[in-house]
Structure 1
């Protein structure tokens, strides 16, 4: 097919050879299948901010660091240059998250290059070599649902231990891919997490807890359609509680059970509040009697 204008510069730079077809068009980007030498990859073209339905909500961009102080000041002022820099920072957030998570062993597409607003990365495929389906397009047996749910909960933990919360995780941005086996073993189907431009810093974003709980709840609700017992699990609160306590690691054994800790009641403080209220009421009654 004819290369879109946004991919032409990558062809001129020799980063891709040909454009095979459009793979999808989503809320923030269009994705194309491309050929790079002997390899088939995908190119993600980010839509301009005014053409996206997904807004750069302040909840997601909170505390994102910008190395260039001039850019940071312009973004704070909201100037034209600042908006351009904010757009560039939004796009590069996914690139940074992919490299960070891939290094941590999280199942995400392997990034290869980011050029002129286009992310060149691995094409995630099924057993036939075709583009892998999203979870929402697949039905599961109860056993498979439990297996994939456990895998994804472990991936959420691995992401959190790497300091990242996806922020928009659901069955719509997880692919069911054919993953190679280790040490010559036969491959198997497994989830791969995609779409990370809204990923947030777990320690630096005040909304990280709420986003993580929502991510895990989305997994619970989706797989709970096929394995109903998953609907009663509480992995999200359990994970965040362990994280806050400094007890979470990739090897932490989770139970899916969470009982919030209740702080001990300070009875002396409660009694003081009661006495103060009683004294205040007595003083009020005395004032009323005096003015009657």
Structure 2
């Protein structure tokens, strides 16, 4: 097929030899199957911010590092330079997460390079060497649903032990290769230690898994793995070998109304600041 304009710089640099076909187009990127010498890989072409349906919410950007204070100020003000920096931070978040998670033993595609807004990485394949299907396209039995759910919980634990939370985990960004689930799409990944919404995002990721697999294995619908995993993490007791039960003992301590009101006021202030920044852009 004709080489897309965004991939042309990789061809000119000798990183890609041929674009074979488009694999998929999603809310944040278009993915192509490419040939790199004798290897078949994929090239993820990030869409411009104005074309993405998945917005760079402040909750995902919190805790992400930039190179210097000038970049931080530009991003805060929403200048053209600042928007360019936001794009770089957004794209680099996935690259950094992929390298970190691969090193931690998490099943993710192996990354090679991110060049001019194009991420080059391994093509995830099934047992026949074809592009692996998404989880939502795989027919599941009760037994297989439990098996895949357990494997993904283990991946979530490995990710958190590495300090990373996916932030948008669902059946639509999980592929299934010959050995089971592979987690993809990580530009919204957050740092568990520096993001104040980390607990909520982790619980949402895990709840999404329970809701999907619960269609095939209803016993998963009443589990609390997200809260259990986070409780172990906060206590410094979470390890890749942690045995999970899916249940958390109820907290019977009296509610601190003052602290609850502070949390509400803080949330209102953050939303007002977000709206103010948007109005200034």
Correspondences of 1:140-159 after superposition (within 5 Å): 140-159=140-159
Structure 1 runs, 4 residues or longer, greater than 4 Å off: none
Residue 126 (structure 1) aligned with residue 126 (structure 2): yes
1:182 alignment partner in structure 2: none
Correspondences of 1:1-292 after superposition (within 5 Å): 1-178=1-178, 189-263=179-253
2:259 alignment partner in structure 1: none
Gaps of 5+ in 2: 257-281
RMSD: 1.3
CA apart distance, 1:78: 1.5
- Aligned to 1:262, what secondary structure does the other structure show? coil
CA apart distance, 1:50: 0.5
The structure number with the bigger radius of gyration is 1
CA apart distance, 1:261: 3.0
CA apart distance, 1:230: 1.2
CA apart distance, 1:149: 0.4
1:282 alignment partner in structure 2: none
Aligned equivalents of 2:169, 2:156: Cα separation in 1: 9
CA apart distance, 1:63: 1.6
- Aligned to 2:180, what secondary structure does the other structure show? strand
CA apart distance, 1:75: 1.0
CA apart distance, 1:232: 1.4
**Equivalenced residues, count:** 256
CA apart distance, 1:264: 7.1
Gaps of 5+ in 1: 179-188, 267-292
Aligned equivalents of 1:265, 1:54: Cα separation in 2: 36
Give the structure-2-normalised TM-score.
0.89
Give the structure-1-normalised TM-score.
0.86
